[in-house]
Structure 1
Amino acid sequence: MPSSPKVFFASSSSSSARRAGALRRLLSSPAFSAACLLFGLAGFLTAALTLSRSPSSQHTRCPDSSRPLSVSVAWDRRPGDGGSAGGSADLPAHLATGSRGRHKVMAFVGIFTGFGSIGRRRALRRTWLPADRQGLLRLEEATGLAFRFVIGKSNSKNKMAALDREVQEYDDFVLLDLEEEYSRLPYKTLAFFKAAYALYDSDFYVKADDDIYLRPDRLSLLLAKERSHPQTYIGCMKKGPVFTDPKLKWYEPQSFLLGSEYFLHAYGPIYALSADVVASLVALRNNRWVAVNVLPILSPCCGLANIQICDPGLCHPEVKMLELHERKECTGGPTMAVEVSGSEDR
């Protein structure tokens, strides 16, 4: 039998060849290459966005920019405490138990300020301290240090209203539930450490005045150093003449017990206490002492090895602050931590 005829469809074969050629031209065209590139980039960005929203992402460890930075701290009073925040008054249970969540930082820095120090706060925000919440969060992420102004309350409605406006504008305060008076500074100091310990899980808690020029980068390096003693005080030490003239501001009524000169003692413009020391302060009842390891910083002037420049005798520290900010030796030096001198137990 004759074999089956082989039929060739010339027109169909020619059409297929034309389609194949057109496909090759399309695949080799710049437009197709660009489309493939865009599609690949879109897939990459989608995957990156998905990973960034994952709970295990690195970004979850960054400071939470959605929560308010300022916080008002009140104390639960017990009968007979006299309204003092420094003795028998305790933090509210929801703070003391940490249910709010203690924010983790290497150190919390409380800048002590008052109602008459608006100019000082303005000067700090114009120099070394960021003036907006995003700037504060970036500084915290870069150095491990959280900064807040610390202030009490006033019976003056005008002062409280002005403070409320400043809090709303800058969001950089810790508001303490005690009267803001210089004579009550010891109570304010203890109240600050109690509040700071309840709000922040830190290696160090730093008290600073609002008339100092600070280098946060150098302070961060200083506090990051390893230390063998868990209960540590880092700060300035000083001694000086005892004032015996009742007309002077710093008159010492008990001068006859002290002699002509004060013994070497801790200085207040800036100092840091380790977490163990602050935990002991929080637990204090009545008159008890806490043993600490003293690491004095003996650099009173502006220089490369300093973390702060302060002059409590300034009449207008807000003006001096701006002048210091223009000096290269204060702002342009390398990031290096100050060396502390030998230590001794107290």
Structure 2
Amino acid sequence: YWTKSANPGPDSEVERAMDAEEKEYNDILRLNHVEGQDGLPLKIQMFLSSALSTWDADFYVKVDDDVHVNIGITRSILARHRSKPRVYIGCMKSGPVIANNESKYYEPDHWKFGTAGNNYFRHATRQLYAITRDLATYISANKHILHKYTNEDVS
């Protein structure tokens, strides 16, 4: 999927390249969302809602544009979990909750995690993760009541 850059302009090189790819392959989902660190949780929720209404898929996979994906291995991993209803797959991690408001990764809700130095719950890194249709449907249906942390991968 593709979201708007801050001010790309309709004639930017990136926009022209995206238009050409979309015309040739019809594989781009454009979201009306301006990129920004503080909007990452909203962006993934918009993607899931749009993807659910656009494609009937067993899994929805989010991959950053700088990540190389071995499609064959990814496909075989997902196939092993196809019969499970609510699956969340990715490279799992748990990292520190950043309480320093000078940091790019500052978490305004850091106090919810207890004392300083505590970690986020285990979650898939934002570079690549896959979720089942059931889980995507749950997130989409409940997006207004689900808590959004600073980073998309923990929200």
Q: Using the TM superposition, give the Cα deviation of residue 152 of structure 1 relative to its aligned residue in structure 2, in angstroms.
A: 2.1
Q: Using the TM superposition, give the Cα deviation of residue 256 of structure 1 relative to its aligned residue in structure 2, in angstroms.
A: 4.4
Query: TM-score, normalization: structure 1?
Result: 0.36
Q: Is the 8 A contact 2:3 2:33 kept in 1?
A: yes
Which residue in the other structure is 2:51 paired with? 196
Q: Is 2:31 the partner of 1:161? A: no
Q: Is the 8 A contact 2:97 2:120 kept in 1?
A: no
Which residue in the other structure is 2:3 paired with? 152
275, 279, 283: which one aligns with 2:133: 275
Distance 1:247 1:178 in 2: 25
Matches within 5 A, 1:208-287: 208-226=63-81, 229-258=84-113, 259=115, 260-266=117-123, 267-284=125-142, 286-287=144-145
Q: Using the TM superposition, give the Cα deviation of residue 194 of structure 1 relative to its aligned residue in structure 2, in angstroms.
A: 1.0
Percent identity over the alignment is: 30
Matches within 5 A, 1:1-346: 150-154=1-5, 156=7, 158-162=8-12, 163-171=14-22, 172-226=27-81, 229-258=84-113, 259=115, 260-266=117-123, 267-284=125-142, 286-288=144-146
Q: Secondary structure at the match of 2:44?
A: helix
Q: Is the 8 A contact 1:154 1:180 kept in 2?
A: yes
Query: TM-score, normalization: structure 2?
Result: 0.74
Which residue in the other structure is 1:8 paired with? none
**Aligned-residue RMSD, C-alpha:** 2.4
Question: Would you say how many aligned residue pairs link Structure 1 and Structure 2?
Answer: 139
Q: Which moved more, 1:245-254 or 1:185-194?
A: 245-254
Larger relative contact order, structure 1 or 2 (CA cutoff 8 Å, min sep 6): 2
Which residue type is aligned with residue 73 of structure 2? Answer: R
Q: Using the TM superposition, give the Cα deviation of residue 288 of structure 1 relative to its aligned residue in structure 2, in angstroms.
A: 4.6
Distance 1:283 1:256 in 2: 28
Which residue type is aligned with residue 89 of structure 2? Answer: I
Which residue in the other structure is 1:343 paired with? none
Distance 1:254 1:269 in 2: 23
Distance 2:11 2:120 in 1: 43
Which residue in the other structure is 1:128 paired with? none
Bigger Rg over Cα: 1
Distance 1:191 1:254, change over 3 A: closer
Q: Secondary structure at the match of 1:161?
A: coil
Q: Is the 8 A contact 2:91 2:128 kept in 1?
A: yes
Q: Which moved more, 1:190-199 or 1:258-267?
A: 258-267
Q: Secondary structure at the match of 1:173?
A: coil
Which runs of 5 or more structure 2 residues have no equivalent in the other structure? 148-155
